[in-house]
Structure 1
Amino acid sequence: MNALDLTVGSTLPPLHTGPITRHRVAMYAHGSGDLNPIHVDPDFARDKAHLPDVIVHGMYSMGVLSRLLTQWAGAGSVRSIETRFAAMLPVKASLHCDGVIEAVEATDGGSLVTVKLTATQGDGTAVATGSAQVFVAAAQ
């Protein structure tokens, strides 16, 4: 990526993942230490939380949005990221992540790019929205 190629309104290459399995959610739960039963116990999710099944962690969605950014601009490029969780992501759903360049600010050695982020499930429901600041080095 080269700072001269950055244009406000341009889209990042989308990232699609899924379907997200119960096994993947359980692995994420153990890795993150978030063992809330709505994520790992189908009986609890149904009987106590009145959900059809376990749900995917909101931070899982944020992690996929972060991967969208690093696949586009490289490891270590994300300076900040803010996310609002808009809806629950059910297990077995697919996740579609998109980014749009909102602003580009020239800095020493490159550009600081503001990216609007959206994560939607397969039916188009937004599960997370946000923005990020990403540093893109100038072409050498």
Structure 2
Amino acid sequence: MSILKTPGTIKNPPEQFAGDVWVDMLAYPMSEAQRAVMAKVRFAPGARTAWHHHARGQYLHVTEGVAYFGDRDGNVIEVKAGETLYTPPGEEHYHYASPKTFMEHIALLEGEDPKTSTVWLEHVEDKDLPTVE
């Protein structure tokens, strides 16, 4: 057993995120046989990811605030603190924090190479975001 050393909080890059978003790595592979990565991701109000997808899918457990997750078909799911969303492998989607509150989620994913298991695409346009009251 061991306590993992974490690199500290990292601000996510503007090429992949609009608004202020920070990540803390919670778990990562300890050997070549492992693929799981777990991170705590915090979004400022109204911040969002770019479109992206994951080679082996992703679990997102919202721990604070309200999140919106959208797909290319225009479906948007509201997820509140305490709820978990699953996105299947290859499904293009985005994560979006309510414009009124901070949002935090725990992301769990795996891939053949955890560093490249997420494929980043173009930014989400404002017109594609849900209207939030």
Which category of TM-score, normalised to the shorter sequence, fits these structures? under 0.3
Q: Considering fraction of residues, name the structure with more strand.
A: 2
Q: Considering fraction of residues, name the structure with more helix.
A: 1
Larger Rg: 1
| TM-score (normalised: structure 1) | 0.23
| TM-score (normalised: structure 2) | 0.24
